[in-house]
Structure 1
Amino acid sequence: MTSKEKKNKRAKRRSYSWLSTLLLIFLVAAGVGVGVLVYAAQNLPAWDPQQLSGASTTFLYDDQGKVLAGLHAEQNRTETSLNNVPPDLINAFIATEDQDFYRHHGVNFKGIVRALLVNLQSGDLTGQGASTITQQLARNAFLTFDKQWERKIKEVLLAFKLETHYSKDEILSMYLNKIYFGAGAYGVQAAANTYFGKDVSKLDLAESSLLAGLPQSPNSYNPFQYYDRAKARQQMVLKCMVDCNYIDQETAQQAFETPLVFKKSFNSGSRYGYFIDAVIDETLDILEAREIYEDPNNAIYRSGLKIYTTMNAQLESHAEEFFKNPANFPSEQKNGEQIQCAMALIDHSNGEVKAIMGGRSYEQRRGFNRATNALRQPGSSIKPLTVYAPALEDGYMPFFTLIDEPISIKVGNTIWSPKNYDPNYRGLISMRTAVQWSVNTYAVQLLEKVGVRKSFDFGKSLGLDLVDTPGTNDLSLAPLSLGGLTRGASPVQMAAAYGAFGNGGLYAKPHFVTRILDADGVEIYRFKPDYHRAMSEETAWLMNSMLQTVVSSGTGTNARVPGVQTGGKTGTSEEYKDSWFCGVTPGYSAAIWMGYDREHTMNKVYGGSYPARMFRSMMQKAHEIKNPKPRSMPAGIVSVSVCSKSGKLPAELCSQEQIFSDYCLKNKVPTEICDAHNMVSICPESGKLAGRYCPNPEMRSLTKDETPTEKCDIHSDFSLPALLNNEIYVCRDPRHNGKIYRANLPNPLQSGGCPPEYLEKVIVENGDSLPYCSLEDHQLKKKKAREVFDDVIGL
């Protein structure tokens, strides 16, 4: 046998070996498949046609374990016949969800093969994709929503069974009446009413194509929250309809460009509506991240879950009652739109959100929740988070002084001149004073010293959604010092950030859900405490101390809670578009925002007015429920006496009014003596530097920023207005030419050498006669005051 023949023989043996191996693998896989198929068939759920429209209720519980609400798929569902559904809506669904619906027998095997290849390539063996309309109906009616191959096989078997019991139109009708569209709407009739306020039969192509795109991911495409996403999905639905020849491209484009007019309000009458919506949103994120269910939306409404939340029913009820009272809000309106408001209150020790309000009234299930979704400009309420707390971390103490004066900073090719919210400039002031009165120029100068990168990273560590991308970003002075952010911040984000000041520097992630049980009572989720140290305990205490000054005697006095240590910060964005009050107590942190949805300007609605009063009301109620003691001052902090003008130890020239006590780290106690003061002669009448003619100058201890730069312009001469209604000395000695000596000169006896025995003090009023010394006859004569002043002009 030649070597070539030997090689061919070995190659044939290897081929037979591979074929045998593959055949064995195929037989084993087929056997396993048949086994799984038989097992799944034997364990199919009981065939109950009533389940085609039924579901198990999911219950939500408050922080005391009491049921606060039940979520059920049928709570907003109205049956309608297929004849009442417009052809455009039917075609939109078939084109998007199941183009072969009228050609297959419940299962699209070509689609399954495609999905299987995709899953194998991605390494995801959870059996996703390729579900026909019949399979989706089977899953919604009879099965759980977990991602398992067994469930997928059951879904296929049940789809075949549905196809044998019902016609295609009956299956389509049940499907359209059962699927979830978001915003609490089940079925096309409820969806048409929820989103457009009309009967399903009245929907046009634009509205139909939008609705048909929602069921794939109602949470992500909810047009009340994510309009741009919903429009992008609508465009995809219209493209599918073009591909299926239901419409042409021109019609699709016209439908896409047709303005959508949504239902403006929906009075659900639901208690705790905004909180429940936030719980659902968070639960969806949890279930999607854990990939427990293929369709988390349906799982929430149809699987009988038990969801335990952080909500305190007393606080949420108090918030709802407060929001019902129009007197608690400004009465102004712009273009028929009222000022809106949002609130979030958090237990900062663990991040549990205890109460929220996402608007003045609850208008729409799963609609726009301003407490969680509205990102608005925080204005000066950002300063403690991105300026003052990082400055404390860098070693700048509350008595650190800077000059509050007009400033100009070069930013790129422009000059930026930030102004204070009021027209006042206070000269040398401490950090505590700058926080107390929300001084912008101080904050900008201090941020320059701290550095924008440190400030940016500090804000990120407190949960702020700051942007650092090429072009527009928050990595600059203006957004970090005055709060004009690229995206903005929500009340929940701001409340959680301020919570770190009350929690010893630990940031606790805000959350609404503590644990979730499935229908069998098996725990499928438990919140794990999520903390990280955002700042030192000392920094948190010092910042909290300065925030208390804001409330006790600064811009936030309306937020003061009687008997409760209260700190906070006001914030008002440019042109009064956004007003905030954010604050902290020993037990809670909270943030309140006020403004128009469309960013109209408000009529001077300050953060220290309505928002501060709302904060006080919520905190009073919260501390009736839980009233922990304030945190003790850390051992590393001491009290010191300093001069408010220099932040140094007081000197002899420092007045008592300028000496005050403040706190600092032990290693930051000042050692230098104040050198900011000088003795300056001031005219008390003009307030300027005293001149030679000023009658009553005073020596004052002043700092450089306090010292006038101009000389007195009132006492430039002894003119009549300066002498009238005053005391004067008259010389009775004719040798001194009858000069008149004013009594309030420093020393009249040295002003011309007139002996004391010749001086006589008289009171002068306009029009009075004056004694006048005549050189001619050495006799006193009477003259009118005007004549005397005309004749005798000065010393």
Structure 2
Amino acid sequence: MRADPASPPRPRPRPSRFRRLLRWVLILGLALAVLGAVAAGILYTAVASKLPDVETLRDIEMQEPMYVYARDGKLIALFGETRRYPVKIDDVPERLKQAFLATEDARFYEHGGIDYRGVARALWLLLTTDDRRVPGGSTITQQVARQFFLSSEYSFTRKFAEMLLARKMEQNLTKDEIFELYLNKSFFGNRAYGVAAAAEFYYGKQLAELDLDEMASLAAIPKFPSSGNPISNPERARERRDVYVLARMQELGFITPAESAAARAVEMHASPHERPIEAYAPYVAEMVRLEMVARYGGDVLTRGYHVTTTIDPTMQAAAELAVRNGLTTYDHRHGWVKPAETFELAADEDAATAARRLRGIAPQGGLLPAIVLRSGNGTADVVLADGSTVTLDAASSRWTGRNPGALLTRGDLTRVRRIETPAKVAADADADTPVAPPTVTWQLDQLPRGQATLVSLEPDNGAVRALIGGFSFAGSNFNRATQSRRQPGSSFKPFIFAAAFEKGFNPASIVPDAPVLFRMRRGQDWRPQNSDGRFMGPMRLREALVQSRNLVAVRLLDTIGVDYARRYISHFGFDESQLPPNLSIALGTPSLTPLDVTRGYAVFANGGFKVNPWFIDEVRDREGTLVFKENPARACRGCGNDGRPGQPAAPSHVIDGFDLGPASAQRTVTEAPEPAEPAPEPEPRADGQAPAMAERAIDERVAYQMVSMMRDVVRRGTGTAARVLEREDVGGKTGSTNDHRDAWFSGFGGNLVTSVWVGRDDNRSLGYREYGGRAALPIWIDFMRVALNGVPEAPNDPPEGMVRVAVTASGRLMPVGAEGGGIVEYVKAEDLERMASEVDLQIDDVPTEEAFDIF
């Protein structure tokens, strides 16, 4: 049947509402997907273009402290804000690795750097909560990326960059390389960075020595390094160790249930462990720090340098003890001083409360700070910084002549010294005689009013073997050995005498010890005097130095000329501008550091060569590669003035206008010394560098004469106390200044030259009769007794170009073959003619009024 053509067409069925909605959803989804892809592409381009090159992690330099060692490898100091000792992944115990994997990323060796489930959970929490800090499921790889390249900001952009970096790291680095970076970079609280530093600080152990409970405790720290470490919060740390680490290790099969239970049963026992200092030399350590910063820049303390110094730990310890005991003895001679500070203690204040007042007050030189809790009935109770109490009886203050009850009042801040008597061992090991245990006693003491320095170096090369800059570095880091300029007094006279010997004088030359008047430029009169106020008349220069006669030194300087003397003395290493241009330098008025004076005395001891003090032997980087090796200029005993081994003193060798060698042939009066053996060739250095030869400063014959005279200072002069060392090679010179403000002894023996200075920082007097021989020499003796133990005595053989002569007590040459022998001296060959025709110097007319002391 045909349809009616006139009938209207049927309408199409309209899509349902659901289908229309679905279509729009699909269109919108597609649009969003396109927009998302575009946005992701833009974000990726923007972020990826700014990502660092992860290959740099292969050569990353972790911040590591600078290590300073003594010459034998003992640790002197660690410098740096962070504790970090990088380790190789192969040196990390397997159980310790498992502890960190169980805690941080169990699938670390399986995934590609990203835990997608963890990331999704973090994104959901960021969208659905107000908390911006949510667990992000970061893998170890992501944590390394964040630690090295990103900030700690919580944002989608940072998280996206972290993920991209993690992927790049996984493509460029091995899993072990990434894990090693993590273990060395992570922060463990208390300035400890890296697992090795954490093990040492919290447990005092190397990684291989850790127990399972300690490994678990360390693995729990990085999440909460400051508030959850086992020292700041042991309870929280224990909970994390047991619940989050040990339980997880057991769950993953790393440890057995029995091992887990045994580790959980161990009490928390972490405590601070600073890396032990094996050689105490804080002033030297600070010198090294300043020198390293000057050489390599401000970041030198974070680059893991290993610096080996020239310091001998045995000598350094002897120097520390000698200075400490010497200053204590000096201070005790001048009596007790009332404590300068007193705390107002509450009536019911107990020891623990009082002890807290001592926080920030450091021990100094073995003297511990203490607060008096009770005083009376001849005793006193004091509390120490650790809260313990000590009762001081009359024996503790015997040196004061009074009992503690009379010296102290409640609240006084005082000092005490702990004295431990070693245990007595039975003479017969098999006997039943009991062995007395060590005993501890306490002495009431005080910080000394004086200060002291000690510098000891090897004269042949200038290597510093011991250096003390003051009584206590904790009390003052001012290094008086290198920074304090003080007048050396009579210890400067050897330099004046040496200058005169270069001009033709000799130890037998006669100079009057008599009053003299000098008219100064401003019209004032200067009348120098001797320390004892007496005059001994004409005397040989040897005796003048032995007895330290000021007027002889002044007359001698006046004869040779101040300008000449200053130029000559500058050859010892002194800055000529620091030497006053007047006759007062004969009395030791230049302001010099103890280190400068020690270097000057080294010229005498090494045969006439100027050496430069040095204290850094070598520097190595964190990998052990040698960065620097000192090549010090060395003296060459027996070398000629041109420095070549085996050559005698060259004729008419002139330096700065000074003749440093013989100008005429020998003229034997009695006998000449046997020819000296040629000096051996310097040994080649291990690093292949040619040995550096020191510059000659003075004629070796003058050096010989001065050493001979300064040995006499010890034998029968102002330094006779040093005879207790029972060594023939010991010599030196005492020094004191006006009103006993400075006390010195500088001298030599064996292979060392050492200077000791004692004085007060405020330049006040040390006290009545505190001469160099009383205040400084005992310190020098105590040090040298230890430092020279087992060291052969140094010879002092006359060099070529000298003649052995006999003189009378008045300094006249004795005819050859004359009876009586006379006094034996060695003089320079060219000085003989002068000696043969020498006439006595005339004593200037002087007023009869009393001279005054100006030095």
User: How high is the TM-score relative to the length of structure 1?
Assistant: 0.51
- Distance change >3 Å, CA 38–CA 162, structure 1 → 2: closer
- Give the match for residue 353 of structure 1: 464
- Give the match for residue 528 of structure 1: 631
Alpha-carbon displacement from aligned partner over 1:88-138 (angstroms, at most 9, x marks no partner) = xxxxxxxxxxxxxxxxxxxxxxxxxxxxxxxxxxxxxxxxxxxxxxxxxxx
Which whole-Å CA distance do the structure 2 matches of 1:269 and 1:368 have between them?
Answer: 24
- Give the match for residue 91 of structure 1: none
Q: Within the alignment, does 1:65 sit opposite 2:230 as a pair? A: no
Which whole-Å CA distance do the structure 2 matches of 1:368 and 1:362 have between them?
Answer: 8
Deviation at 1:388? 0.9
- Give the match for residue 343 of structure 2: none
Q: SS of the counterpart of 1:467?
A: helix
Q: Contact 1:342–1:592 at 8 Å: present in 2 too? A: yes
Deviation at 1:286? 4.8
- Distance change >3 Å, CA 70–CA 671, structure 1 → 2: closer
- Distance change >3 Å, CA 402–CA 307, structure 1 → 2: same
Q: SS of the counterpart of 1:630?
A: coil
Which whole-Å CA distance do the structure 1 matches of 2:462 and 2:764 have between them?
Answer: 33
- Give the match for residue 294 of structure 2: 288
- Give the match for residue 311 of structure 1: 311
Q: Contact 2:743–2:772 at 8 Å: present in 1 too? A: yes
Deviation at 1:357? 1.5
Q: SS of the counterpart of 2:713?
A: helix
What amino acid is the match of 2:68?
Answer: L
Alpha-carbon displacement from aligned partner over 1:400-442 (angstroms, at most 9, x marks no partner) = 1111111111221122111111111111111111111111111
- Give the match for residue 616 of structure 2: 513
* Matching of residues 197-212 of structure 1 within 5 Å: none
Which whole-Å CA distance do the structure 2 matches of 1:670 and 1:649 have between them?
Answer: 13
Q: Within the alignment, does 1:455 sit opposite 2:618 as a pair? A: no
Deviation at 1:651? 12
Deviation at 1:308? 0.8
* Matching of residues 533-612 of structure 1 within 5 Å: 533-560=696-723, 561-603=725-767, 604-612=769-777
Which whole-Å CA distance do the structure 2 matches of 1:272 and 1:466 have between them?
Answer: 37
Q: Contact 2:708–2:796 at 8 Å: present in 1 too? A: no
- Distance change >3 Å, CA 306–CA 165, structure 1 → 2: farther
- Distance change >3 Å, CA 591–CA 160, structure 1 → 2: same
Q: Which runs of 5+ in 2 are unaligned?
A: 1-48, 85-145, 156-186, 192-274, 341-447, 634-693, 844-855
Q: Within the alignment, does 1:495 sit opposite 2:598 as a pair? A: yes
Q: Contact 1:648–1:674 at 8 Å: present in 2 too? A: no
What amino acid is the match of 1:543?
Answer: M
- Give the match for residue 182 of structure 1: none
Deviation at 1:655? 12
- Give the match for residue 643 of structure 1: 808
- Distance change >3 Å, CA 660–CA 578, structure 1 → 2: same
Which whole-Å CA distance do the structure 2 matches of 1:378 and 1:279 have between them?
Answer: 26
Q: Contact 1:372–1:490 at 8 Å: present in 2 too? A: yes
- Give the match for residue 342 of structure 1: 453
- Distance change >3 Å, CA 675–CA 567, structure 1 → 2: closer
What amino acid is the match of 1:559?
Answer: A
- Give the match for residue 410 of structure 1: 519
What amino acid is the match of 2:330?
Answer: F
Alpha-carbon displacement from aligned partner over 1:377-420 (angstroms, at most 9, x marks no partner) = 111111112x1111112221111111111111122112211111
* Matching of residues 253-264 of structure 1 within 5 Å: none
- Give the match for residue 748 of structure 1: none
What amino acid is the match of 1:523?
Answer: L
Which whole-Å CA distance do the structure 2 matches of 1:615 and 1:490 have between them?
Answer: 17
Q: Contact 1:58–1:304 at 8 Å: present in 2 too? A: yes
Deviation at 1:67? 3.5
- Distance change >3 Å, CA 676–CA 651, structure 1 → 2: farther
- Give the match for residue 208 of structure 1: none
Q: Contact 2:457–2:463 at 8 Å: present in 1 too? A: yes
Q: Within the alignment, does 1:445 sit opposite 2:453 as a pair? A: no
Deviation at 1:498? 0.5
Q: Contact 1:462–1:534 at 8 Å: present in 2 too? A: yes
Q: SS of the counterpart of 2:592?
A: coil
- Distance change >3 Å, CA 651–CA 288, structure 1 → 2: closer
- Give the match for residue 500 of structure 2: 391
Which whole-Å CA distance do the structure 2 matches of 1:47 and 1:349 have between them?
Answer: 42
Alpha-carbon displacement from aligned partner over 1:51-110 (angstroms, at most 9, x marks no partner) = 9xx84232222222344443342479xxxxxxxxxxxxxxxxxxxxxxxxxxxxxxxxxx
1:661 aligned to which of 799, 817, 824: 824
Deviation at 1:666? 2.1
Q: SS of the counterpart of 2:622?
A: coil
- Distance change >3 Å, CA 614–CA 672, structure 1 → 2: closer
- Give the match for residue 482 of structure 1: 587
Which whole-Å CA distance do the structure 1 matches of 2:83 and 2:775 have between them?
Answer: 37
Q: Which runs of 5+ in 1 are unaligned?
A: 1-36, 77-156, 167-173, 179-267, 678-702, 706-795
- Give the match for residue 425 of structure 1: 535
Which whole-Å CA distance do the structure 1 matches of 2:567 and 2:288 have between them?
Answer: 26
- Give the match for residue 108 of structure 1: none
Which whole-Å CA distance do the structure 2 matches of 1:533 and 1:429 have between them?
Answer: 31
Q: SS of the counterpart of 1:624?
A: coil
Q: Within the alignment, does 1:329 sit opposite 2:330 as a pair? A: yes
Give the structure, 1 or 2, with the largest relative contact order (CA under 8 Å, sep 6 or more): 2
What amino acid is the match of 1:570?
Answer: T
Q: SS of the counterpart of 1:329?
A: helix
Which whole-Å CA distance do the structure 1 matches of 2:464 and 2:630 have between them?
Answer: 13
1:622 aligned to which of 781, 784, 787: 787
Q: Contact 1:650–1:674 at 8 Å: present in 2 too? A: no
Alpha-carbon displacement from aligned partner over 1:477-503 (angstroms, at most 9, x marks no partner) = 11x211112xx2222221121011110
Q: Contact 1:358–1:370 at 8 Å: present in 2 too? A: yes
Which whole-Å CA distance do the structure 2 matches of 1:272 and 1:372 have between them?
Answer: 20
Deviation at 1:507? 1.7
What amino acid is the match of 2:756?
Answer: I
Deviation at 1:577? 0.3
What amino acid is the match of 1:317?
Answer: A
- Distance change >3 Å, CA 347–CA 426, structure 1 → 2: same
Which whole-Å CA distance do the structure 2 matches of 1:352 and 1:402 have between them?
Answer: 38
- Give the match for residue 109 of structure 2: none
- Give the match for residue 166 of structure 2: none
Q: SS of the counterpart of 2:485?
A: coil
Q: Contact 1:59–1:70 at 8 Å: present in 2 too? A: yes
- Distance change >3 Å, CA 320–CA 586, structure 1 → 2: closer
Q: SS of the counterpart of 1:311?
A: coil
- Distance change >3 Å, CA 449–CA 303, structure 1 → 2: same
Deviation at 1:667? 2.4
Q: Contact 1:499–1:507 at 8 Å: present in 2 too? A: yes
- Distance change >3 Å, CA 508–CA 605, structure 1 → 2: same
Corresponding pairs, count? 451
User: How high is the TM-score relative to the length of structure 2?
Assistant: 0.48
* Matching of residues 168-247 of structure 1 within 5 Å: none
Which whole-Å CA distance do the structure 1 matches of 2:556 and 2:59 have between them?
Answer: 72
- Give the match for residue 30 of structure 2: none
Alpha-carbon displacement from aligned partner over 1:256-289 (angstroms, at most 9, x marks no partner) = xxxxxxxxxxxx996755x343344245335524
- Distance change >3 Å, CA 282–CA 464, structure 1 → 2: farther
Q: Contact 1:565–1:585 at 8 Å: present in 2 too? A: yes
- Distance change >3 Å, CA 660–CA 357, structure 1 → 2: same
Q: SS of the counterpart of 1:371?
A: coil
Percent pairwise identity: 25
